Amino acid sequence: MGIVNLYKGLESFRDIYNFNGKIKDNLDLNWAHVKIYKGEAELTPDYEVQEHDVIIVHEHHAGATGLIIMAIVAVGVAIGSGVYASEQIKQAERDMKKALKRIGKKNER
């Protein structure tokens, strides 16, 4: 029997199956989001597992859209933080100029 290692999503642990025959007949997965490998070769779900085969099946959840949305939100937060930091720097510069004006020195820039 061949060995099929199934990874789901970003999980680092796997489920191990032993069978011969077509992969799609033995595993219930969303085949639109699956990559199958034997060594360096990419296979299709119609591949028939043979004796002594070692197959890696990786199912990427459709929830990858959620990851994209989280990435967009993270970029938005980063931009917002940058704008806030920029405003804080401008305010600190204004405060410094006021303080220098009070003690009679000019900001030489």
Beta strand spans in 1-109 (E): 2-8, 15-19, 21-22, 34-38, 41-43, 48-49, 54-59
- Residues of the chain falling short of pLDDT 70: 62-67, 106-109
In a domain, 7, yes or no: yes
CATH number of the domain to which 52 belongs: 3.10.20.30
Show the tokens assigned to 45: 């779900």
In this predicted structure, what is the pLDDT of residue 103?
86
Give the CB-side neighbour count of residue 97, counting CA atoms within 13 A: 8
In a domain, 78, yes or no: no
In a domain, 87, yes or no: no
Domain of residue 12, residue span: 2-59
In this predicted structure, what is the pLDDT of residue 107?
58
- Number of structural domains (the chain) is 1
Other residues' Cβ atoms within 10 Å of the Cβ of residue 14: 14
In a domain, 35, yes or no: yes
Contact 57, 36 (CB under 8 A): yes
In a domain, 19, yes or no: yes
- What are the backbone angles phi and psi of residue 9, rounded to the nearest 5°? 60, -135
